[in-house]
Amino acid sequence: MKTILLFLLLSTSNIFGQIYITDTLSATDSTDLELVWRKFTKYFLQKDTSNLRNESLKLSACAICLELTEPTDDYYVPIDTFLFQAFRKFPNSELWIVLNTTSHYFSIKHFPDFQPKSLPNKEETPIDIYEVSITTNKPLEWLYNYNGTVHYFDFVKINGQYKFYGFASR
């Protein structure tokens, strides 16, 4: 019992003031998300905004977009704002280079009491956010005590279809 409680405490984090539990994906979700990720990165690297809009929610959680919008607690911006910022900042970056590699990891976050305003159906709680993480700088790569840089592309499943939900880096 102590092991289970310790796991829950260690895997529970806080995003936008909300509690969530990180978990691994099922084999089916992992396979499906891999196909979605390949399609998404193909469109992204081609800067295919039309298809990216179709694969995304209308509002995106976007920490890199704050300089273009008024700061808010939830960081949601129109998908076009995210795409503008991403295509302005990502090309020629390490992230852009590794987007086309197989070095990515999947996880899922369960939010029992969180309903982001970007979702079209406001009654779908709890929400699961499917996360694709990519490391561009490994811990201790640059400096002692350097934690590295990990980029997160988040997706949600709506009516059985994955949609791009947001982006963040830590």
Q: What pLDDT sits at residue 71?
A: 47
CB 49 within 8 A of CB 83: yes
Has residue 2 been placed in a domain? no
Q: What pLDDT sits at residue 57?
A: 92
Has residue 46 been placed in a domain? yes
Domain count, the chain: 1
Q: Residue 46: give its domain's CATH number.
A: 3.10.450
Has residue 123 been placed in a domain? yes
Domain that holds residue 36: 18-169
Which residue, 134, 170, 133, 158, is CA-closest to 56?
Answer: 158
Q: What's the predicted TM-score (pTM) here?
A: 0.78
Mean of pLDDT values over 127-136: 88
Has residue 11 been placed in a domain? no
Q: What pLDDT sits at residue 42?
A: 95
Has residue 3 been placed in a domain? no
Q: What pLDDT sits at residue 70?
A: 59
Confidence of residue 94 (pLDDT cuts 50, 70, 90): confident
Has residue 39 been placed in a domain? yes
